[in-house]
Amino acid sequence: MSINSQKQEKIVEMFDDIAPTYDTANRVMSMGVDKSWRRKACDLSYEFLAKKSIDKIVDVACGTGDMMDFWRERAEKSSIVIGEIVGVDPSVGMVDVARKKYPKFNYHISKATEIPLEDATADILSITYGIRNVVEREAALQEFNRVLKKDGLVVILEFMKNENPSFLSKIMNFYTNNILPKVGGFISKNLEAYEYLPNSIETFSTVANMQRELESAGFEMLYTQSFSMDISTLLIARKK
């Protein structure tokens, strides 16, 4: 097994372990503010796609399924008909939770680099706070391109590395690095998993680099915005 495969497997095992308490920890740590980011991602994507009938939305690293439900809810609000919403995640533990919460969606246990769907079948592919957990990111972006139809959208919400943090961003970084891991660790009884969060952000891509990687993978950038003192960034790109 390669080093990348071993690293990816360890991340998946970590998510399997924290799956039962993942939702509770997330809501406490984010104080629910992530909901507004998710709504904006869905609403803007539907505006860019400009269709009232969508065949398929794929949510990669779907975790416990919340983003899939946001896609459903926001589509209903805009009278958009969706044929199928599909969740893809390598963690059996996370998908087990998702299936119980949202049994009407379809799921695949799979890596982001090996999505078990045919070429050019998805209208939208999202990955929400999951791309930094994909070890072979460039291969995953190529796979996203393969699965999407021409003019289909890739939608990324992620905690990005901030190269030039403001004073407020530095305060938020202190909170993320020192407070959040203890809260998440207390709830999940797995401190290591929640220490991984700030570490993974610190070693992750900058926004500019992520944009370059998307363009290299055959996408055209449509929209980029950072929220809440640059904690979270939304990127939307179209398959050329």
Is the confidence at residue 13, as pLDDT, over 80? no
* Three-class SS state of 169: helix
CA dist., res. 205 & res. 12, Å (int)? 20
Instruction: Give the bridge partners for 131, in sequence order.
Output: none
Chain segment 147-194, per-residue pLDDT in tens: 999 999 999 998 776 666 555 556 556 556 666 666 666 666 776 766
Chain segment 89-98, per-residue pLDDT in tens: 999 999 999 9
CA dist., res. 217 & res. 231, Å (int)? 25
CA dihedral sign of residues 4, 10, 13, 15: negative
CATH of the domain spanning 3-239: 3.40.50.150
Predicted pLDDT of residue 132: 86
Name the nearest CA neighbour of 239 among 81, 110, 111, 49.
49
* Three-class SS state of 89: strand
Chain segment 66-112, per-residue pLDDT in tens: 999 999 999 999 999 999 999 999 999 999 999 999 999 999 999 99
One-letter identity of residue 98: A
- CB neighbourhood size of 173 (10 A): 18
CA dihedral sign of residues 15, 17, 22, 25: negative
Listed by start position, the domains of the chain span 3-239
